[in-house]
Amino acid sequence: MSQATTFAGKVALVTGAARGIGFAIATRFINAGADVVLADLSESDLNASISTLSSDYTGRALAVGANVSKDADITRMVEAASARFGRVDILVNNAGISPKHGGRKARVEDMLAAEWRQVLEVNLTGAFLCCRACLPHMRAAKWGRIINIASVAGRTKTEIAGAHYAASKAGMMALARTLAVEVGSANITVNSIAPGRIETPMATAAGAELNQAYVARIPVGRLGTGEDIAAAVAYLASEDAAFLTGVTLDVNGGSFMI
pLDDT tens per residue, range 133-190 = 999 999 999 999 999 999 998 998 887 788 999 999 999 999 999 999 999 999 999 9
Residue 244 CB neighbour total at 10 angstroms:
14
In a domain, 6, yes or no: no
User: 241: domain range?
Assistant: 11-251
In a domain, 156, yes or no: yes
Q: Per-residue confidence at 104, pLDDT binned at 50, 70, 90?
A: confident
In a domain, 60, yes or no: yes
* CATH number of the domain bearing residue 126: 3.40.50.720
In a domain, 24, yes or no: yes
Q: Per-residue confidence at 215, pLDDT binned at 50, 70, 90?
A: confident
Record the pTM.
0.93
Chain centroid to Cα 98, Å, comes to: 14
pLDDT tens per residue, range 19-61 = 999 999 999 999 999 999 999 999 999 999 999 998 888 889 9
Higher pLDDT, 236 or 255: 236
DSSP one-letter string for 169-221: HHHHHHHHHHHHHHHGGGTEEEEEEEE-SB-SHHHHTT-HHHHHHHHTT-TTS
In a domain, 121, yes or no: yes
Work out how many domains the chain is built from and give that number: 1
In a domain, 55, yes or no: yes
Catalytic option among 57, 165, 214, 235 = 165
Lowest-confidence segment of 35-39, 64-68, 74-78, 250-254 by average pLDDT? 250-254
Is 235 a catalytic site residue?
Answer: no
Among the listed residues 190, 148, 146, the one whose alpha carbon sits nearest the alpha carbon of residue 170: 148
In a domain, 4, yes or no: no
In a domain, 5, yes or no: no
